[in-house]
Amino acid sequence: MSTVFITDGDRPLGTALRESFTNAGFDVAVHPANGDAKSLAAAISSAGPVELLINNAEPEFDRLAFEEIDENIFVNMMTGVARTAFFAVQAVHPIMQTLGGGKIINVSSSAPVCGMTGGAHFTAAKGSLYSFTRSWANELATDNIRVNLVAADVTTGTAAEDGGGETPLGRPVTIEDVVETITYLAGSGGDMISGQEIIVDGGFTRVGF
């Protein structure tokens, strides 16, 4: 039985991913997001044969004017997203090498593509995932590790207050929509896709930019 490892598996998307992959017959291990490289490495090393890592860690955050983001808030966001993802991949790499390959999916946002007033800390942190995705896809390809990014612009659930709701496609983006995209990449359809980004936004990104 192969294992799916999800960082920040207790937030709504993480919970939905955990349920979905459990129902599909995988062992699922989750870990909170705190950027602590050692505890993350220990959790991943003891999780079993991890063939899919989903970097879903994302601290809660408030929209703040740039001048109001203090150093702690900024560093906490960078740590919770970028540092957590980086050291999760470092820990899972030798496991996937032993298995003969694996897949990594980084969960990001469209904000680093479109910009986001009041979200400089969030956008910087999520922006790192775009470049990590491309770099790791290149570096880890020889180990048969596929690395992709899914931008989860969920407009229902916890993010619903965030101005979400209708999309150009006529309905909100749900957590289930994002789970389906991740499931596709995790399946055989994603076997020859690496270093790519899919923005699940109901078409928003292509409106007016």
Residues 6 or more apart from 81 whose CB is under 8 A from it?
A: 33, 57, 58, 59, 125, 126, 128, 129
Name the one range near other proteins by CB under 8 A: 79-87, 150-158, 161-169, 172-180. Answer: 79-87
- Shortest gap between Cβ of 60 and other proteins (angstroms)? 18
The binder of other proteins chosen from 75, 160, 169, 207 (CB under 8 A): 75
* Residue reference for tokens 């109901």: 202
CA distances from 209 to 120, 142, 170 (A): 18, 37, 19
Identify the residue among 48, 101, 116, 174 touching other proteins (CB under 8 A). Answer: 116
Binding mask 145-184 for other proteins (x = CB under 8 A): ----------------------------------------
Which among 168, 161, 63, 37 has a CA at the least distance from the CA of 120?
63
4 strand-pairing partners: 28, 52
Residues in contact with other proteins by the rule CB under 8 A = 37, 65-67, 69, 71, 74-75, 78, 82-83, 86-87, 89-90, 93-94, 111-120, 122-140, 195
